Chains A and B, each alone.
Chain A
Amino acid sequence: MINSSLKQLAAQLAAKKISSRELTQSYLSRIETLNPDLNAFITVDAEKSLMQADAADKLLAAGLGGVLTGIPIAQKDIFCAQGWRTTCGSKMLGNFIAPYDANVIERFNVAGAVNLGKTNMDEFAMGSSNETSHFGKVKNPWDKLAVPGGSSGGSAAAVAARMAPAATGTDTGGSIRQPAALTGITGIKPTYGVVSRYGMIAFASSLDQGGPMAKSAEDCALLLNTMAGFDNRDSTSLDRPVEDYARDLAQPLNGLKIGLPKEYFAEGLAPDVAQTIEAAITEYKKLGAQVVEISLPNTQLSIPVYYVLAPAEASSNLARYDGVRYGYRAPEYKDLTDMYKKTRAQGFGAEVKRRILIGTYVLSAGYYDAYYLKAQKLRRLIAQDFTDAFKLCDVIMGPTTPTTAFNLGEKSDDPVSMYLSDIYTIAVNLAGLPGMSIPVGFGANGRPVGLQIIGNYFGEAKMLNVAHQYQLATDWHQRMPIL
């Protein structure tokens, strides 16, 4: 059962072969067994989850269930869920019980899904290894010496270890795709504006986007059907007709044009990853796709641009954590300014503080034009690269990451080398495009390799189709780590 697709689970629930309570309980038991070691969840509340499961069972009994009714979903601890502790991986929010639901949570609630618990993450989603969490590092279920990736590392590990049928993530510079790649699961970051950011704790507002993380593209399509949609409480939410993201899953790939950016296969890409990606491309050719070489010439600039824009927005977004209205407040202080400074020095971890300082600096008087404004101009060039590329192809493919999962502790003292590992994912956020990662094999060390699929704006259904066809022909997505 733990390897069942969402569709299969839904069928079993509908046929009353299993109740939501039983299903939820079985995952809660698995979490109880595996979580002490993997640390994928920050908060589990069996009572709350089972209450939701019972409510779902009533709906199912009345024949009122939808596709996700009664299915337990692990929620990244960045989504506010009413009555649930919502920490964003930070000591700052260590005691924060959210008094309201994020739009994404509300949508899952309306669909009758069960909140299985809140998953671990890099503090305020700042990180690529899940090592910056105040609640401890997460281990990669495939190799416990390895990082699961980040920032949605808890969600990725939970799905990879089959502690949850599916999970949510958020992606500001690769935080869905990179951990999905490193743990051998499927994840999609939609076009910016497709999933509401309301109640999703902000890191960098112009880049943040929520999305599903699951075992397969098909599961992701079903989850995205629930997560996506216009929300009038988010001014950047796009008011578009409702889509069925699963509508094109069955389409054959004959004539599909895949663009391979030469910059994604250049120096810095590990040979084992390169080979695995090439094998996946070969598989696509078998499925009828054609390959064209494209160029994204400003790829290298995406890292510096990102590390100006994201910290700048973050430095402002995180100013609200001041110990006044909620969250952590330092126990001792001399006066107001001292209260602010101690609260923030003690409540934030090292990486968050670094980014706040960088962001403060690049926005400060005399530096704005050279850093922030410059980065916004380059952002346009980077986005333009993709516009040009999509004149030549339907989707872009390449590695999600330059290497397989690195070891825990390997890069935690060297922020810059950590930042560089996001080279293939960041540009997608800067352009606001949809991107996903699917498992396509394993590297030399037996750790998973992810293939990145980048679509044009609002190309989610197409990308999911492209991923699904591959998953029909291969079984990488069904592989499970031995635990």
Chain B
Amino acid sequence: MSLTEADVKRIAHLARIEIEDKEVAPVLGQLSNILGLVEQMQAVNTDGIAPMAHAQDVSLRLREDRVTESDQHEAFQAVAPQVEAGLYLVPKVME
């Protein structure tokens, strides 16, 4: 599974990271090296092995349905790039 420049552009877009044309080739090189390292996984037969998502075999704890949080929007919005009338502002969203 070798990575192409088109792949790099596609995943950079998916990840919303701007990548200039001149960066594509070096990034492709670095990512390909990493994927090369990863490739040795494919040599191992994993048929019948259950995927392990968590270190502990425990189940989800459920919280009682209670309101525990109060309004802190002023403190939270003190660190926001742009707010107005209690709203976070972003460049116009097109539907």
Contacts and interface: CB of A to CB of B under 8 A. Distances in A.
B38 A307 contact: yes
Interface in A230-257: 232, 235-236, 238-239
Interface string A139-162: 000000000000000000000000
A344 B16 contact: yes
Contacts of B34: 307, 354, 358, 415-416, 419
A203 interface: no
Interface string B50-83: 1111111010110100000000100110111110
Contact of A342 (B18, B49, B79, B92): B18
B92 A358 contact: no
B50 A377 contact: yes
A300 B35 CA distance: 15
A193 B49 contact: no
A95 B51 contact: no
Given A236-B54, A341-B16, A345-B17, A370 B37 contact: no
A177 interface: no
A379 interface: yes
Contact of B79 (A95, A357, A419): A95
Of B41, B42, B44, chain A has the most CB atoms within 10 Å of the CB of B41
A348 B35 contact: no
B88 A99 contact: no
Contact of B80 (A325, A342, A362): A325
A431 interface: yes
A300 B41 CA distance: 10
Interface stretch (A264-272, A275-283, A329-337): A329-337
A415 B7 contact: no
A312 B84 CA distance: 35
Nearest to B8: A357
B17 A361 contact: no
B85 interface: no
Contacts of B75: 99
B12 to A, nearest CB: 6
B54 A341 contact: no
B40 A301 contact: yes
B94 to A, nearest CB: 8
Contacts of A235: 60-61
B38 to A, nearest CB: 4
Interface in A430-458: 431-433, 457
A307 to B, nearest CB: 6
B91 to A, nearest CB: 4
A454 to B, nearest CB: 14
A10 interface: no
A341 B17 contact: yes
A309 to B, nearest CB: 9
Interface string A299-319: 011011101100000010001
B15 A344 contact: yes
B15 A367 contact: no
Contact of B52 (A322, A329, A379): A379
Contact of B18 (A193, A307, A328, A345): A345
Contact of B40 (A239, A304, A383): A304
A361 B31 contact: yes
B17 A415 contact: no
Given A304-B39, A344-B15, A356-B17, A377 B55 contact: no
B56 A193 contact: yes
A236 B53 CA distance: 12
Contacts of A315: 15
Contacts of A338: 18, 91
B25 interface: no
B17 A357 contact: yes
B27 to A, nearest CB: 7
Interface string B2-15: 01000110111111
B56 A336 contact: no
Given A304-B40, A378-B46, A415-B33, A345 B19 contact: yes
Given A193-B56, A325-B80, A379-B52, A364 B14 contact: yes
A99 B72 contact: yes
B26 to A, nearest CB: 10
A342 B19 CA distance: 9
A341 B31 CA distance: 19
Contacts of B17: 341, 344-345, 348, 353, 356-357
B87 to A, nearest CB: 11
Contacts of A354: 27, 30-31, 34
A397 B37 CA distance: 26
A395 to B, nearest CB: 18
Closest 10 CB pairs of A and B: A432-B55, A376-B51, A341-B18, A345-B18, A377-B46, A340-B16, A380-B52, A329-B81, A192-B55, A377-B49
Given A325-B80, A325-B88, A327-B81, 11 more contacts: A97-B79, A308-B41, A338-B91, A348-B17, A354-B27, A357-B11, A357-B15, A361-B11, A415-B33, A416-B37, A432-B54
